[in-house]
């Protein structure tokens, strides 16, 4: 290259840097629109996107893969906006040393927050690289075509992204108004093969439970059978001399065993547990926890109030009470973590859904500065919600501190997972509604009793080990989750057009058992109650249930979802044993309607479901197949909750320690066919489908069972035992003797 050419190139590079700096200054202008999604908290482009010298692109997200197909969807979004093949994009999920802090992966918000951030960050990067290419080519930006990882000039000249990025800093703030890519090969909206599936179906290293590091030791934590219990004093010295046992760690009531082999750690655990256990604190309330919670002191919290005229005297009023028991997450793989302590720092590989909050809690527990704690997410074998992942991470970190320089793998036993994981709170909902002479609802009341729905750890006091070490950390006070999303009140506000309506949460602060976030929080129960009650009102008004819902729905997207589900199911020609339900998750996320057929064996009480049909609108459909998977999975999990699951107790502890005591839906009881119809809304915001089906599936089942039996069951689970009891003839009252 000539000296003049080199001088021009250097000048050109200086202009590019100046342009990049000006972009950052413009993005900080207070008059600019707010950055979308997670960009509002982490506005720098290189927090989300990096481009290597070889052109390989890496996407960073603070959200985690839980089996919902998030990695694949985020790769699609970035590839689409950057005009590259998905194979050219790598992804790094939730690592406190590498990714933006996006809090907890929960509430079906991953695409809404992280997907929207990556969409806009990728658009910013594409435009920045195009502008860099324009300077290099001495052309107007609109003459540059970006495709296949390179910038193309009209005369055939081309520069790859790797070369372009060397002249353009990505350490600049995003601009909020960068247009999305138009034309070219479509990636968003296509069905791509999930990148997380191959290892899962081939026996590969798919989960944290599969993780093995060189020189890794094995540990077990020692506790009573369930929360609210503790072990009696054991012979620690005898266990410490067992073959392969390297350490027995004691810190207050926290006890863990480190061994050179997993089975040796397990044998030592069982020997310590043989000492017996005792309850801590007051006895548990009656076995029917849902009744007990309703009798505990409660704080009334207003949910909604739509003023209107009182119901006229001729109105027909119905009341009903619905309930669900405590539920488990039912993780197929017990919680696990791997920790490495070296140089007064700790790295924890965890399947927590919130690595940054966990990092803060671990730093406090261990007495370390925040920068000395790193949490790296690795997918766990099945969980949506707050199970034992955070607690086992703390257990592993405390164990690793005793053997610095060697990684320690600590996995809970199955009975520990069932005994110690936080449960989904039991709930009771009371409904009241009045019908006018025209069959429309003229009054509505919704009251819900529940504990909190999130005790996720943000401090050491939120961890099991935090309450066991000496001195113990104080657990945070449970609080109701603020609306509009809410916890126990989630989806209690009706989406229907209702006058004279009021809702109240009776928040029970006292928690007889440990509870926290379970997939969809209070939405499954509230939708179960609302949609069951809508069917009861429709029956009282002698109106078809779908027509009754449509008569009270103004939201056009909601109406379309209801109509499509009904049409694809063939509702107009339905037979006996059919049910329908609808909800918009949190009243601000995805719309979902579910219709189903049931057949009930009146001898055994077993429910069979030949066919389930769902329609879903979650905004722009990034991965239609991923959406279908999420809705199908949500339906199956919700059916399991609604038909089978219930945690059992006596006055001292939980008594559900394995799958026989806590039955879940098995393959023979699965629906015969599940159809999911996805309504795509190009360029509309991502709404997130992960928790949209839980409420509608539960209510559709209850409505179908009521339609089949002619008897309304309002208490979950709708188990064979409960169905047989409902069908049992009521003994006739004794005749009065003539007097």
Q: What pLDDT is stored for residue 281 in this prediction? A: 87
Q: What pLDDT is stored for residue 184 in this prediction? A: 86
Q: What pLDDT is stored for residue 31 in this prediction? A: 57
693-719 pLDDT per residue, tens: 999 999 999 999 999 999 999 999 999
Strand order in the sheet with 49-51: 49-51, 57-61, 89-93
349-382 pLDDT per residue, tens: 999 999 999 999 999 999 999 999 999 999 998 7
Mean local confidence (pLDDT), 558-569: 98
Split at pLDDT 50, 70, 90, the class of 616 is very high
Query: Are 491 and 303 in contact, with CB atoms under 8 Å apart?
Result: no
Q: What pLDDT is stored for residue 287 in this prediction? A: 67
Q: What pLDDT is stored for residue 730 in this prediction? A: 72
Peptide bond before 484: cis, by omega within 30 degrees of 0? Answer: yes
377-392: burial string, b at 16+ Cβ within 10 Å, e else: bbbbbebbbbbbbbbb
Kindly report the average pLDDT of the chain as a whole number.
93
Phi, psi (degrees; rounded to nearest 5) at 146? -105, 120
- Structure tokens of 407? 């990684």
Phi, psi (degrees; rounded to nearest 5) at 310? -65, 155
502-511 pLDDT per residue, tens: 999 999 999 8
Residue 306 has pLDDT above 80, yes or no: yes
CA angle 316–319–322, rounded 5-degree value: 150
444-480 pLDDT per residue, tens: 999 999 999 999 999 999 999 999 999 999 999 999 9
DSSP state of 462: G
Residues 6 or more apart in contact with residue 35 via CB below 8 angstroms: 27, 43, 120, 174, 176
336-355: burial string, b at 16+ Cβ within 10 Å, e else: bbbbbbeeeebbbbbbbbbb
DSSP state of 619: S
- Structure tokens of 291? 């009744």
Phi, psi (degrees; rounded to nearest 5) at 69? 80, 20
Q: What pLDDT is stored for residue 382 in this prediction? A: 77
Split at pLDDT 50, 70, 90, the class of 183 is confident
Rounded Cα distance between 42 and 99, Å, is 10
Q: What pLDDT is stored for residue 280 in this prediction? A: 92
Domains detected in the chain: 3-165 (3.30.365.10), 208-280+329-420 (3.30.365.10), 427-453+488-726 (3.30.365.10)
Split at pLDDT 50, 70, 90, the class of 220 is very high
Distance of CA 117 to the CA centre of its chain: 19
Rounded Cα distance between 469 and 516, Å, is 22
Residue 237 has pLDDT above 60, yes or no: yes
316-356 pLDDT per residue, tens: 999 999 999 999 999 999 999 999 999 999 999 999 999 99
Rounded Cα distance between 562 and 466, Å, is 48
Query: What is the pTM for the complete model shown?
Result: 0.93
Q: 3-class SS at 510?
A: coil
Split at pLDDT 50, 70, 90, the class of 12 is very low
Alpha-carbon distances, residue 189 vs 74, 76, 179, 675 (angstroms)? 12, 9, 18, 19
Rounded Cα distance between 694 and 519, Å, is 8
Total residue count of the chain as it appears in this document: 739
Residue 414 has pLDDT above 70, yes or no: yes
Query: Are 77 and 622 in contact, with CB atoms under 8 Å apart?
Result: yes
């Amino acid at each position: 290259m000539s000296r003049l050419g080199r001088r021009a190139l250097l000048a050109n590079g200086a202009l590019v840097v100046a342009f990049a700096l000006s972009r950052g200054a413009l993005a900080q202008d207070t008059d600019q629109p707010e950055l979308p999604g997670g960009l509002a908290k982490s506005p720098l482009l290189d927090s989300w996107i990096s481009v290597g010298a070889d052109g390989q692109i890496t996407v960073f997200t603070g959200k985690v893969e839980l089996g919902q197909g998030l990695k694949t969807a985020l790769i699609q979004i970035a590839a689409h906006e950057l005009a590259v093949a998905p194979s050219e994009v790598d992804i790094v999920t939730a690592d406190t040393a590498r990714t933006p802090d996006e809090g907890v992966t929960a509430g079906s918000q991953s695409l809404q927050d992280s997907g929207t951030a990556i969409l806009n960050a990728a658009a910013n990067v594409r435009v920045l690289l195009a502008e860099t290419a324009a300077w290099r080519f001495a052309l107007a930006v609109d003459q540059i075509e970006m495709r296949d990882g390179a910038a193309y000039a009209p005369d055939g000249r081309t520069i790859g992204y790797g070369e372009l990025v060397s002249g353009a800093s990505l350490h600049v703030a995003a601009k909020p108004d960068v247009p999305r890519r138009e034309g070219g090969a479509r990636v968003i909206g296509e069905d791509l093969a999930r990148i997380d599936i191959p290892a899962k179906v081939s026996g590969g290293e798919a989960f944290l439970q599969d993780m093995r590091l060189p020189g890794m030791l094995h540990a077990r934590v020692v506790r009573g059978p369930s929360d609210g219990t503790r072990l009696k004093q054991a012979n620690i010295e005898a266990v410490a001399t067992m073959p392969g046992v390297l350490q027995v760690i004691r810190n207050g009531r926290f006890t863990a065993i480190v061994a050179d082999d997993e089975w040796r750690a397990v044998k030592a655990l069982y020997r310590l547990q043989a000492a017996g256990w005792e309850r801590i604190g007051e006895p548990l309330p009656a076995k029917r926890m849902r009744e007990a919670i309703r009798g505990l002191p409660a704080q009334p919290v207003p949910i909604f109030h739509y003023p209107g005229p009182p119901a006229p005297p001729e109105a027909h009023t119905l009341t009903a009470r619905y309930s669900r028991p405590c539920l488990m997450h039912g993780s197929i793989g017990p919680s696990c973590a791997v920790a490495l302590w070296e140089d007064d720092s700790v790295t924890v590989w965890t399947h927590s859904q919130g690595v940054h909050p966990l990092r803060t809690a671990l730093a406090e527990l261990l007495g370390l500065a925040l920068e000395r704690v790193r949490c790296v997410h690795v997918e766990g074998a099945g969980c949506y919600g707050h199970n034992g992942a955070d607690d086992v991470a703390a257990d592993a970190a405390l164990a690793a501190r005793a053997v610095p320089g060697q990684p320690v793998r600590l996995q809970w036993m199955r009975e520990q997972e069932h005994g110690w994981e936080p449960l989904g709170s039991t709930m009771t909902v009371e409904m009241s509604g009045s019908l006018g002479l025209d069959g429309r609802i003229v009054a509505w009341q919704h009251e819900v009793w529940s504990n909190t729905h999130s005790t996720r750890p943000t401090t050491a006091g939120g961890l099991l080990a935090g309450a066991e070490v000496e001195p113990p950390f104080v657990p945070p006070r449970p609080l109701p989750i603020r609306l509009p999303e809410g916890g126990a009140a989630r989806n209690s506000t009706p989406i229907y057009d209702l006058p004279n309506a009021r809702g109240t949460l009776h928040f029970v602060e006292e928690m007889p058992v440990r509870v926290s976030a379970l997939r969809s929080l209070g939405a499954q129960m509230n939708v179960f109650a609302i949609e069951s009650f809508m069917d009861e009102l429709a029956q009282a008004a002698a109106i078809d249930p779908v027509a009754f819902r449509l008569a009270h729905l103004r939201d056009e997207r909601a109406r379309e979802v209801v109509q499509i589900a009904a049409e694809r199911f063939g509702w107009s020609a339905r037979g006996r044993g059919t049910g329908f339900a609808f909800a918009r998750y949190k009243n601000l996320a995805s719309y979902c309607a579910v219709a189903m057929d049931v057949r009930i064996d009146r001898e055994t009480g077993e429910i069979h479901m030949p066919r389930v049909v769902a329609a879903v609108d979650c905004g722009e459909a990034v991965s239609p197949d991923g959406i279908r998977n999420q809705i199908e999975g949500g339906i199956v999990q919700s059916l399991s909750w609604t038909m089978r699951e219930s945690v059992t107790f006596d006055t001292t502890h939980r008594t559900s320690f394995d799958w026989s005591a806590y039955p879940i839906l098995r393959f023979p009881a699965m629906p015969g066919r599940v159809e999911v119809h996805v309504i795509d809304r190009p360029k509309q915001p991502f709404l997130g489908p992960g928790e949209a089906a839980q409420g509608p599936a539960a209510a559709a089942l209850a409505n179908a069972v009521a339609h089949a039996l002619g008897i309304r069951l309002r208490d979950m689970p709708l188990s064979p035992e409960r169905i047989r009891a409902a069908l049992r003839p009521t003994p006739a009252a004794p005749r009065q003797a003539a007097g």
